[in-house]
Amino acid sequence: MADLICQADLVIWDEAPMQHCHIHEAVNRTFQDIQDSDALFSGLSVVFGGDFQQILPVIEKGSRAEIVGACIQRSHIWPSLQVLHLYQNMCLNVDIEQERAFAQWQLDIGHGKHTDPSDKIILPPNLRLEENTIEALIRHIYPGLSQLQPPLHQYFSKRMILSSCNDDVDDLNSLMLNSFPGEECIFFSEDTVANDRPDEGELMYPAEYLNSINCSGLPLAKHLKFGCPVMVLRNLFPAEGVYNGTRGVVTKMSTRVIEIELLSEEVRGKKVFIPRITLTPRPKCLSNWREDRLYGMKS
């Protein structure tokens, strides 16, 4: 690693404002030690990228002063940095006036505009539904969900509902799954619990309880139907485009294998098989290690 740093000409550091300033200072001291130099980052050019209107460093149970104090602007290296501003949004099509207006509205939100006296954001009419219900949102984003026809990847690749809470995601998934035609199949996640004291034998927990546990990185027991969207949770076949975060739709189901049609742009429409795998999650759940037999996917 030291040899690579000595040979580098440029370091690009993305999302720098989201990280604690101590991280930047530690990297600076490391570069100085490796190259025996007192210059900032040992004289190596470093480009920090990011937006201070996004998330600041996360300080667990920290006060406003502690969060601001963790920003890179409070670091002793900040006065030595040259600030460059980007004025053109490369993510939108500048020929479409509606997209430009939406991008400007987002920037205005970051400056505290478009809020009511209680600091709630006022959405423009084109971002609101006349009927303020979850069912209306699902009908608007996924029209004709109960009458899906192939090719499914064309239908789901450009549709998505975002939510900040996992519980809300599970509720949305359940509501949408009920709208899918066809018979549903249940795939259970946890089925056994390994005791960290082998001499005491296997821990006897009801399967219903094990399948109700929601641990990070592991899916719940899921009801699946033909055509429902899923997400892969493991790097199964990276060369084939099947890795953590890959989205797809279910095309076939069996006891040990599920066939999905991928939605990612570079492999859209490609069908792959997701096998049944064995996982042991860490850190411990139930204060014991648990052997989980599950599909490496989440709906």
Q: In terms of DSSP bridges, do strands 292-295 and 297-298 run parallel, antiparallel, or are they unpaired?
A: unpaired
Residue 146 or residue 55, greater confidence: 55
List, for residues 198-248, the tens digit of each pLDDT value: 666 666 667 677 767 666 656 666 678 888 888 887 888 888 888 888 888
**Count H helices, E strands: the chain?**
8, 10
Nearest to 204 by CA among 214, 194, 217: 194
Closest CA to 228 of 155, 139, 140, 143: 155
What pLDDT score does 80 carry? 93
Among 34, 49, 39, 37, smallest CA distance to 77 is for 39
* Greatest extent of the chain over all pairs of C-alpha atoms, in Å: 70
Nearest-angstrom CA–CA distance, 102 and 104: 5
Percent of the chain, pLDDT > 90? 20
Q: What pLDDT band is residue 79 in, cutting at 50, 70 and 90?
A: very high
Side-chain-side CA neighbours of residue 248 (13 Å): 29
Task: Express each pLDDT in 6-45 by its tens digit.
Answer: 888 999 999 999 999 999 999 999 999 998 999 999 999 9
- Mean residue pLDDT across the chain: 79
- CA–CA separation, 237 and 95 (whole Å): 38
Give the position of tokens 């430009």: 100
